[in-house]
Amino acid sequence: MAQELRSFTRMPLEAEVIFQEIAFDKEAETVQSKYKDVSGGGLLLTSSKLLPLGALLKLEIRVPGLSQHHSTSFRLPHHLAQKPLAAVGQVARIEALDSGEFDLGIKFLNVYPDDLKALLSFINSSGQAK
């Protein structure tokens, strides 16, 4: 049996993610897609665009219900409650799908500490984590 190498618990969740490759030599295209699971260490997203292994991405991740897990000192006003989690990630794994799309395993490189704390609380309280 293969040894589990993940440091964080994954939670299956299909929600919206908007990402953009961080590259200085070309104009960045903004891509809207869905992700399949999320953890404190990254996420698995589906993309119609193939990105190279190691590519850096600016991510805006919608996590339904995340705002309820921010500490009381950082509770978001109602009109900002659906604010996306912003992160910088790196393509760590690529899998071609039969549909012609790609599953991209993204490793988080930078997430605001309060957002990461809320994300971990959200995942741990969900009961769906694996």
Q: Please classify residue 65 by burial: count the beta carbons closer than 10 Å to its beta carbon, then call 0-12 exposed, 13-18 middle and 19+ buried.
A: middle
- Position 76 scores a pLDDT of 53
pTM value? 0.84
- In which residue are the tokens 């705002």 written? 67
Q: Read off the pLDDT of residues 57-70 as tens digits, 9 standing for 90 and up.
A: 999 999 988 878 77
Nearest Cα to Cα of residue 18 among 30, 6, 36: 30
Domain 11-124: what homologous superfamily?
predicted glycosyltransferase like domains (2.40.10.220)
Q: Read off the pLDDT of residues 90-119 as tens digits, 9 standing for 90 and up.
A: 999 999 999 999 999 999 999 999 899 999
